[in-house]
Amino acid sequence: DTGVSQDPRHKITKRGQNVTFRCDPISEHNRLYWYRQTLGQGPEFLTYFQNEAQLEKSRLLSDRFSAERPKGSFSTLEIQRTEQGDSAMYLCASSYSRGIEETQYFGPGTRLLVL
Amino acid sequence: AQKITQTQPGMFVQEKEAVTLDCTYDTSDPSYGLFWYKQPSSGEMIFLIYQGSYDQQNATEGRYSLNFQKARKSANLVISASQLGDSAMYFCAMRDTQGGSEKLVFGKGTKLTVNP
C-alpha cells in the first residue's frame, strides 16, 4: 500500500525565486491537504481539495501561494517570489471523507530554505 | 475558536516504562475528533490514535491508549512499555465541523526522549 509521497524532499532557493512542490496522495483518497510547519510549532493548515475542487483556504495562504489539484489526483503548491519567512516544512496529507473520524495521512514533507 | 494546548515541551522516560503526554482542547462543537501523531526527526507525521467525542470508551491501539476526559476537555496519550524508537515529537490535533472546516488544528507538540 503506497503512502503519500512528496517531491522534492528538500529545496534551497534564493529570495525572490519561485518554487513548486508536488504531492501524490494515497490513490483512493478524495481529499488532499497542505500544511506548513515552522520550527518548534505544530503544522498549520493552508488549504484543502476535495477531488479537484479547492474548498478551503487559510488566511495564511497569501497571494504568492497557489495550489492546484488537476483531475483530482496529485497536487502542486507553488510559492512565487519567495521570502525568507517562507522557510518551513510543507506537509501534504490525504484522506477519504467519512465524517468526523476521517483520518489524514501525511507525506514525508518538503523542507524549504529560502536564502 | 478551536485550540489545542500541550503544556509539556519535553518529557523523559526510561525504556520499558509508561509515559503520559498531556493534551487539552477547546471547542464549542459537540461533535469533534481528537488525533495523536508522532513526528520523528525525519519529519513525517505518523498517525497513532483517534478518539471521537461521542465514543464511550477510551481508544487503544497497541501500546498507545488515550485517556479521554470529556468534562475536563483533555485527551492524554499514554504510551506503555516505552521503546527507544518512541523518541520523537508528539502532536495532539483536533477536528470539528465548526463553520464547515475540515482542517486539523495542532498543538505545539511534546518532545519525548526515551532513555536506555
Block means of pLDDT (10 residues each) for chain A, 115 residues, are: 91 98 95 95 95 90 93 94 97 89 93 98
Round the average pLDDT of chain B to a whole number and report it.
Answer: 94
CA distance B23 to B109: 9
pLDDT at B26 over 70: yes
Residue A43, min C-alpha distance to chain B (Å) = 6
**Cross-chain residue pair A100–B47, CB shorter than 8 Å:** no
Q: When comparing pLDDT for B42 and A16, which is higher?
A: A16
pLDDT at B102: 84
Q: What is the pLDDT of residue B98?
A: 72
**How many CA atoms lie within 13 Å of A17's alpha carbon, on the beta-carbon side?**
12
pLDDT for residue B82: 97
Residues A35, A48: contact at Cβ < 8 Å?
A: no
A109 and B43 in contact by Cβ < 8 A? yes
* Average pLDDT score over chain A: 94
* pLDDT at residue number B63: 98
A101 and B50 within 8 Å at the Cβ level: the answer is yes
Q: Residue B27 is inside which H or E element, if any? A: none
The 8-class DSSP code of residue B100 comes to G
pLDDT at B1 over 90: no
Q: How far apart are CA A17 and CA A82, in angstroms?
A: 6
Confidence of residue B20 (pLDDT cuts 50, 70, 90): very high
**Could you tell me the three cell numbers for B83?**
521503546
Residue A1 pLDDT: 57
A93 and A32 in contact (C-beta within 8 Å)?
yes
Of the candidates A40, A104, A111, which has its C-beta nearest B104's C-beta? A104
Which residues touch A98 (CB under 8 Å, ≥6 apart)? none
Terminal Cα-to-Cα distance of chain A (whole angstroms): 37
Q: Which residue has the higher pLDDT, B2 or A70?
A: A70
Separation CA A21–CA B76 (nearest Å):
35
Q: What is the mean pLDDT of residues B60-89?
A: 97
